[in-house]
Homo-oligomer: A and B are copies of this chain.
Amino acid sequence: MQNFVHRNPVKIRFGRGQIAHLAQEVPPGARVLMTYGGGSIRANGVYDQVLQALEGFEVLTFGGIEPNPRYPTLMRAVELARAEQVDFLLAVGGGSVLDGTKFIAAAIPFEGDPWTICSEQAPIRSAVPLGAVLTLPATGSEMNRAGVVSRDDTRQKLAFFSELLFPRFSILDPETTFSLPPRQVGNGIVDGFTHVMEQYLTYPVGALLQDRMAEAILQTLIEVGPQTLADPTDYEARASFMWCCTVALQGLVGVGVPQDWSTHAIGHELTVLHGLDHGQTLAVILPAVMEAQREGKRAKLLQYAERVLGIRDGSDDERIDAAIAGTRSFFESVGVPTRLSAYGLSGDPSEEVVRKLIARGVLPLGERDDLDAARIGALVSAAC
């Protein structure tokens, strides 16, 4: 096991009816900016539930935060928050609203160009406190200190991190997710699953508990994923799916182990270039990375095959083939295709993906820094 530092102070309120406790969690007397996305929370009643729970507080609202939240949109919220002297942010929505709100929280007091928070990892010295009401299980943003923001003019999708950006609290009521379209649920399942894989599928370092906890989440997602798609109002399945996505990226799975994150890095470029959903890019790239890294990840691929998928027959290579095929089948069983061709891409985007990764200066990728431009190009081509 590698040395590690772990801290996660986020308070979670989980379950039916928890939004009603909002007033206990928001600091007394706070001037609140409630941020949200495209309006689905108006349709499903969450908007009204939140405002009702915050009766007595001064609440401003800012809607229209996009999937893959855009820098200009977020900067409009920053201007509003500065002008109105907001002192608490409440993100109501999915990972994009949460990520965007983390950026807003950091940008409000930031001196200088806020984009450098993403482009140069400029240090965040203060942030407006925030809380969240999660309505889309997927990203884990509700219980971590990270966010990802996109910019159309420069075609960038970049992450940022700060201890100051942990939500003070996140409220997770599975019932708020009953009305999600199947496409978003499928994407969420793939996202949670891939977050675990990026922390687990590397090489063994004797972190026995972390491995088994990762396997616990993977097994649970495989169990509940198809169930929760088949019956969106099955509370128990939806609750387990939701909690899996949160635990996947709250830290304990990844402490003391090498991590990869190449699937996310490559996937982000496919979203920027071709507009694929985040989950769709992961479903396409993860199996391709598994195939490309079958030597480097051999021991863990075999462990995953046996413990998560129950594959015990055949040679090592046959079991690895079966594990990759099993991963594809699982993603497809939750409605997310695993080939680029399924998303209507006509050509091979490998060259432009590689060009953008080179421009970002993030190569090589992989837990051993062994995924260079040539190997990434080849694996993206293979994913077509």
Q: Which chain A residues have a beta carbon within 8 Å of chain B's beta carbons?
A: 1-18, 206-209, 212-213, 215-217, 219-220, 223-224, 236, 239-240, 243-244, 247, 252, 255-256
Pick the residue among B1, B9, B17 that contacts A15 (CB under 8 A). B1
CB neighbours of A14 from chain B (8 A): 1, 3-6, 255-256
Pick the residue among B12, B207, B208 that contacts A6 (CB under 8 A). B12
CB neighbours of A5 from chain B (8 A): 11-14
Complex alpha-carbon distance, A208 and B213, angstroms = 12
Closest to A255 in B: B14
> Whole-angstrom distance from the CB of A208 to the nearest CB of chain B?
5
- B240→A207 contact, CB < 8 A: yes
CB neighbours of A256 from chain B (8 A): 14-15, 239, 243
CB neighbours of A213 from chain B (8 A): 213, 216, 247
Complex alpha-carbon distance, A215 and B8, angstroms = 23
Complex alpha-carbon distance, A13 and B255, angstroms = 10
A-B pairs with beta carbons under 8 Å apart, 14 shown: A1-B14, A1-B15, A1-B239, A3-B15, A3-B18, A7-B11, A12-B255, A14-B256, A206-B239, A209-B243, A212-B219, A213-B213, A215-B216, A243-B256
> Whole-angstrom distance from the CB of A50 to the nearest CB of chain B?
18
CB neighbours of A7 from chain B (8 A): 9-12
CB neighbours of A11 from chain B (8 A): 5-7
CB neighbours of A217 from chain B (8 A): 209, 212
- B240→A220 contact, CB < 8 A: no
> Whole-angstrom distance from the CB of A11 to the nearest CB of chain B?
4
Complex alpha-carbon distance, A4 and B7, angstroms = 20
Complex alpha-carbon distance, A66 and B206, angstroms = 34
> Whole-angstrom distance from the CB of A210 to the nearest CB of chain B?
8
- B215→A209 contact, CB < 8 A: no
Q: Which 5 A-B pairs rank lowest in CB-CB distance, beginning with the nearest?
A: A3-B15, A212-B216, A9-B9, A206-B236, A7-B11
Pick the residue among B1, B3, B18, B216 that contacts A236 (CB under 8 A). B1
6 additional A-B pairs beyond A12-B255, A212-B215, beta carbons within 8 Å, are A2-B15, A3-B14, A4-B15, A208-B224, A209-B217, A213-B213
Complex alpha-carbon distance, A96 and B236, angstroms = 39
Complex alpha-carbon distance, A7 and B252, angstroms = 14
- A209→B15 contact, CB < 8 A: no
Complex alpha-carbon distance, A209 and B172, angstroms = 16
Closest to A166 in B: B9
CB neighbours of A4 from chain B (8 A): 12-15
CB neighbours of A215 from chain B (8 A): 212, 216
CB neighbours of A247 from chain B (8 A): 209, 213, 252
Complex alpha-carbon distance, A2 and B15, angstroms = 7
Closest to A251 in B: B12
> Whole-angstrom distance from the CB of A7 to the nearest CB of chain B?
4
Complex alpha-carbon distance, A223 and B15, angstroms = 35
Interface centre among A2, A5, A224, A252 (most CB of B within 10 A): A5
Pick the residue among B3, B15, B209 that contacts A16 (CB under 8 A). B3
CB neighbours of A10 from chain B (8 A): 7
Complex alpha-carbon distance, A6 and B15, angstroms = 12
